[in-house]
Amino acid sequence: MSKHSVVLEYKRCRGCTSCIKCCPTEAIRVRSRKATILSNRCIDCGNCIRVCPHKAIKSVGDSLGKLQEFEYRVALPEPALYGQFHNLDSIDIVLNSLLKIGFDKVWEVARACELLSDFQRQRIAGGPAKLTPLISISCPTVLRLICLRFPKLLGHTARTILPMELAAILARREAAEETGLPPEKIGVFAIVPCSSKVTAAHSPEGLTRPVLDGAFAIRDIYLRLLSPMKQLEESEIKPMTSAGILGLNWAICGGESAARLGDRCVSVDGIENVIRMLEEIEDGRLPEADFLELSACTQGCVGGCFNVENPYAAKMRLKTLMHGLPVSRNRFLFQGAQRDIIFQDKQPQYLPALLLDEDREVAMSKHLRIQALESHLPGLQCGSCGAPSCHAFAEDVVMGRASEADCIFKMRERMRTMAGVSGADEYLPPPFRRQQGTVSSDR
Least Cβ distance, residue 369 to other proteins (angstroms): 10
Least Cβ distance, residue 344 to other proteins (angstroms): 21
Binding of other proteins by 262 (CB under 8 A): no
Least Cβ distance, residue 150 to other proteins (angstroms): 9
**Residue of 177, 361, 426, 442 that binds other proteins (CB under 8 A):** 361
Least Cβ distance, residue 358 to other proteins (angstroms): 7
Binding of other proteins by 372 (CB under 8 A): no
Q: Which of 184, 272 has the CB closer to other proteins? A: 272
Contact 198, 66 (CB under 8 A): no
Binding of other proteins by 283 (CB under 8 A): yes
Residues in 9-28 that interact with other proteins by CB under 8 A: none
Segment contacting other proteins by CB under 8 A, of 75-83, 213-221, 281-289, 314-322? 281-289
Q: Which of 92, 357 has the CB closer to other proteins? A: 357
Segment contacting other proteins by CB under 8 A, of 145-153, 306-314, 375-383, 419-427? 145-153
Segment contacting other proteins by CB under 8 A, of 184-192, 305-313, 328-336, 361-369? 361-369
**What residues have CB less than 8 Å from 220, skipping those under 6 apart?**
61, 64, 306
Binding of other proteins by 282 (CB under 8 A): yes
Strand partners, 214: 189
Residues in 149-168 that interact with other proteins by CB under 8 A: 149, 151-152
3-state helix/strand/coil string of the chain = CCCCCEEECCCCCCCCCHHHHHCCCCCEEEECCEEEECCCCCCCCCHHHHHCCCCCEEECCCCHHHHHHCCEEEEEECHHHHHHCCCCCCHHHHHHHHCCCCCCEECCHHHHHHHHHHHHHHHHHCCCCCCCCEECCCCHHHHHHHHHHCHHHHHHECCECCHHHHHHHHHHHHHHHHHCCCHHHEEEEEEECCHHHHHHHHCCCCCCCCCCCEEEEHHHHHHHHHHHHHHCCHHHCCCCCCCCHHHHHCCCCCHHHHCCCCCCEEEEECHHHHHHHHHHHHCCCCCCCCEEEEECCCCCHHHCCCCCCCHHHHHHHHHHHHCCCCCCCCCCCCCHHHHHHHECCCCCCCCCCCCCCCCHHHHHHHHHHHHHHHHCCCCCCCCCCCCCCHHHHHHHHHCCCCCHHHCHHHHHHHHHHHHCCCCHHHHCCHHHCCCCCCCCCCC
Least Cβ distance, residue 35 to other proteins (angstroms): 23
Binding of other proteins by 376 (CB under 8 A): no
Binding of other proteins by 357 (CB under 8 A): yes
Integer distance in angstroms from the first to the last C-alpha of the chain? 53
**Residue of 354, 414, 416, 427 that binds other proteins (CB under 8 A):** 354
Q: How far apart are CA 259 and CA 121, in angstroms?
A: 8
User: Burial of 426 by CB count in 10 Å (0-12 exposed, 13-18 middle, 19+ buried)?
Assistant: exposed
Q: How far apart are CA 417 and CA 410, in angstroms?
A: 11
Least Cβ distance, residue 140 to other proteins (angstroms): 22
User: Burial of 271 by CB count in 10 Å (0-12 exposed, 13-18 middle, 19+ buried)?
Assistant: buried
Q: Which of 282, 406 has the CB closer to other proteins? A: 282
Segment contacting other proteins by CB under 8 A, of 3-11, 162-170, 327-335, 357-365? 357-365
Segment contacting other proteins by CB under 8 A, of 72-80, 108-116, 263-271, 358-366? 358-366
Q: Which of 231, 371 has the CB closer to other proteins? A: 371
Q: Which of 2, 347 has the CB closer to other proteins? A: 347
**Residue of 365, 412, 413, 433 that binds other proteins (CB under 8 A):** 365
**Residue of 356, 385, 390, 392 that binds other proteins (CB under 8 A):** 356
**Residue of 183, 352, 378, 423 that binds other proteins (CB under 8 A):** 352
Binding of other proteins by 239 (CB under 8 A): no
Q: Supply φ then ψ for residue 12, to 5 degrees.
A: -80, -30
Q: Which of 100, 366 has the CB closer to other proteins? A: 366
Least Cβ distance, residue 372 to other proteins (angstroms): 11
Q: Which of 20, 356 has the CB closer to other proteins? A: 356
What string marks each residue from 406 to 435 as x (binds other proteins by CB under 8 A) or -? ------------------------------
Q: Which of 281, 302 has the CB closer to other proteins? A: 281
Interface with other proteins (CB under 8 A) = 149, 151-152, 279-280, 282-285, 352, 354-358, 360-361, 363-365, 367-368, 371
